[in-house]
Amino acid sequence: MTQPPSLDAEALYNGLRSAVQQFLADSPVPLVLVGITSGGAWLAERLQRDLGLPGAAGVISSAMHRDDYSQRGLTNSAQTSLPFEVNGAHVLLIDDVLYTGRTLRAVINELYDYGRPASVKLAVLVDRGGRELPIEANVCVATLTLPDDQLLELAKDDHGQLSFVVESKKV
């Protein structure tokens, strides 16, 4: 595991906080934050607190709707918890890294299991390209290109400090 030299996760979080604050201010409707497990959930929880938003951020898991469920099964990450009515809600999904779009597809399927939101938007720390599906972030702090055989993941230490790690994909 190595940390990419050009990615300071805490600095990127500060950029995300500013961008999401502006996105919320510009939105004609109130948005609820929903973090994608696990890195996106950490970000959504911290944004909810740092922006002084009422209530709790939602957490959503892609596990049940992944196209590779038979290989991965359920992960150890948190399961879906949406502390608001999904029907008619305007949702801002929060994730750490946008890559192929497959996780987002699974998350949107999961979200619709809970109701029909009025709209779904996306904010990410890093877009690393490599899209397999037509999914694009409304808010993106940084772009990065990595080889296809590497994974970029957000990590959080015991004090809540964020960092990025790069790992080789397991075959």
pLDDT digits (tens, 9 = 90+) for 105-115: 999 999 999 99
Q: Count CB atoms within 10 A of the CB of residue 149.
A: 9
Q: What is the pLDDT of residues 4-43, one digit of tens each?
A: 546 899 999 999 999 999 999 999 999 999 999 989 999 9
Considering the chain, what is the average pLDDT of its residues?
A: 91
Contacts of 109 (CB under 8 A, 6+ apart): 65
**CA distances (Å), 26 to each of 19, 21, 22, 55, 104, in order?**
10, 9, 6, 20, 24
Tell me what pLDDT residue 159 has: 95
pTM: 0.90
Tell me what pLDDT residue 134 has: 96
Within 13 A of 53's CA, how many CA atoms are on the CB side? 22
Tell me what pLDDT residue 65 has: 81
Instruction: Kindly give the parts of the chain with pLDDT less than 50.
Output: 1-3, 5, 69-70
Name all contacts of 113-117 with Cβ < 8 Å and 24+ positions apart.
Answer: 114/80, 114/82, 114/86, 115/85, 115/86, 115/87, 115/88, 115/89, 116/86, 116/87, 116/88, 117/86, 117/87, 117/88, 117/89, 117/90, 117/91
Indicate the fold that domain 9-66+77-168 takes in CATH. Rossmann fold (3.40.50)
Q: Spell out the domain ranges in the chain.
A: 9-66+77-168
Name 92's bridge partners: 33, 121
Question: Is-contact 90 31, C-beta < 8 A?
Answer: yes
- Amino acid, single-letter form, for residue 142: A
